[in-house]
């Protein structure tokens, strides 16, 4: 059984704009897949389909369960999404409350909730932030807090939209290490292709709502012509290797 299986999945916004156009995609359990592409390619919209934030056209299965209004509650227990804008997820008086929100709604007792919150904050490097308010944090810190809020719910599948955006070097490394070390299925959209090559075994290029390429990460990210065709630049490490080979 695939963790994620998309069969001719599409999505149109109310104004008629097609954001995702007949996607076929399969993701194995435990696999880490990077979704890359230019702005407006449909990457973020695809993530919202995975747990029913937006309802897909076509057939989208999570662990063999078809995503639809009747199954969305159970699907959201499996798929956690960390949105690109952390302010979409942080709304409580303290970071502890934000990260505890999901586990509390699962009906866990106080000690279990506290353990999950402390563990999630430690994993993203915010272990001393639990009593702080998100309004006093930097954008990068709020990003980490929103990801901790997802981690605390222990989803089998984690969908992350630009997880390293606006992070300093220390917290970017923390996030990379978390992705590398987790055994969860991860779907990651990002323009940080150096992070993608460090964390993902496979890369999918999206452009104009469609899949333009789907292959092993190194094969795609070393294909300078393919990347250029889709308004992307190769990871810095591959650019450096290329320059070194020419000298």
Tell me the per-residue pLDDT of 31-63, one tens digit each, with 9 for 90 and over.
999 999 999 999 999 999 999 999 999 999 999
Nearest to 127 by CA among 139, 141, 113, 108: 141
Q: Residue 219 and residue 221: Cα distance in Å, rounded?
A: 6
Q: Are residues 56 and 117 in the same domain?
A: no
Q: Are residues 72 and 84 in the same domain?
A: no
Q: What is the pTM of this model?
A: 0.90
Domain range spanning residue 86? 79-154
User: For the packed helices 169-181 and 139-151, what is the interaxial angle rounded to 10 degrees?
Assistant: 20
Q: Residue 233 and residue 153: Cα distance in Å, rounded?
A: 35
Q: What is the pLDDT of residue 203?
A: 98
Q: What is the pLDDT of residue 41?
A: 96
**pLDDT tens digits for range 182-192:** 999 999 999 99
Q: Are residues 45 and 103 in the same domain?
A: no
Largest CA distance in the chain: 62
- From 154, 172, 202, give the residue that closes a domain: 154
CATH number of 63's domain:
3.40.50.300
Q: Does 233 fall in a domain?
A: yes
* Tokens matching residue 137: 């944090």
Q: Which residue has the tokens 């919202």?
A: 48
Q: Are residues 91 and 112 in the same domain?
A: yes
Q: Residue 120 and residue 10: Cα distance in Å, rounded?
A: 33
Q: Residue 186 and residue 184: Cα distance in Å, rounded?
A: 6
Q: Does 110 fall in a domain?
A: yes
Q: What is the pLDDT of residue 242?
A: 64
Domain count, the chain: 2
Q: Does 178 fall in a domain?
A: no
Q: How far is CA 78 from the centre of its chain?
A: 14
Q: Does 167 fall in a domain?
A: no
Q: Residue 11 and residue 16: Cα distance in Å, rounded?
A: 9
Q: What is the pLDDT of residue 107?
A: 87
Q: Are residues 188 and 71 in the same domain?
A: yes
Q: What is the pLDDT of residue 247?
A: 43
Q: Are residues 70 and 93 in the same domain?
A: no
- From 154, 176, 211, give the residue that closes a domain: 154
Contact 142, 90 (CB under 8 A): yes
Q: Residue 5 and residue 76: Cα distance in Å, rounded?
A: 16
Q: Are residues 29 and 90 in the same domain?
A: no
The residues of the chain scoring below 50 in pLDDT are 247
Neighbours of 157 (CB within 10 A): 23
Strand pairing category for 210-216 and 202-207: antiparallel
Q: Residue 20 and residue 32: Cα distance in Å, rounded?
A: 21
* Tokens matching residue 160: 């992350």
Residue 156 sits at the vertex; the CA angle it makes with 199 and 3, to the nearest 5 degrees, is: 80
Q: Does 163 fall in a domain?
A: no
Q: Are residues 244 and 220 in the same domain?
A: yes
Element (H, E) at 228: helix 224-229
E-assigned strand segments in 64-192: 65-66, 79-82, 157-161, 185-189
């Amino acid at each position: 059984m695939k963790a994620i299986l998309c069969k001719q999945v599409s999505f149109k916004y109310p104004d008629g704009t097609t954001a995702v156009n007949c996607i076929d995609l399969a993701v194995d359990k435990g696999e880490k897949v990077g979704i890359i592409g230019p702005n407006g390619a449909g990457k973020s919209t695809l993530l919202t389909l995975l747990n029913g934030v937006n309802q897909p056209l076509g057939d989208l299965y999570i662990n063999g369960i078809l995503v639809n209004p009747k199954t969305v509650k159970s699907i959201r227990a499996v798929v956690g999404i960390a949105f690109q804008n952390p302010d979409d997820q942080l709304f409580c008086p303290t970071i502890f409350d934000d990260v505890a929100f999901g586990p509390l709604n699962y009906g866990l007792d106080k000690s279990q909730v506290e353990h999950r919150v402390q563990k999630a904050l430690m994993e993203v490097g915010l272990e001393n932030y639990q009593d702080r308010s998100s309004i006093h944090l930097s954008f990068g810190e709020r990003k980490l807090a929103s990801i901790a809020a997802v981690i605390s719910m222990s989803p089998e599948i984690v969908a992350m939209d630009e997880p390293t955006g606006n992070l300093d070097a220390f917290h970017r490394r923390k996030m990379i290490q978390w992705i590398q070390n987790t055994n969860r299925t991860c779907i990651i959209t990002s323009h940080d292709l150096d992070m993608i090559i460090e964390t993902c075994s496979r890369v999918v290029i999206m452009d104009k709502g469609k899949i333009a390429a789907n292959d092993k990460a190194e094969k795609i990210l070393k294909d300078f012509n393919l990347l250029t065709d889709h308004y992307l630049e190769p990871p810095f490490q591959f650019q450096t290797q290329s320059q070194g080979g020419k000298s």
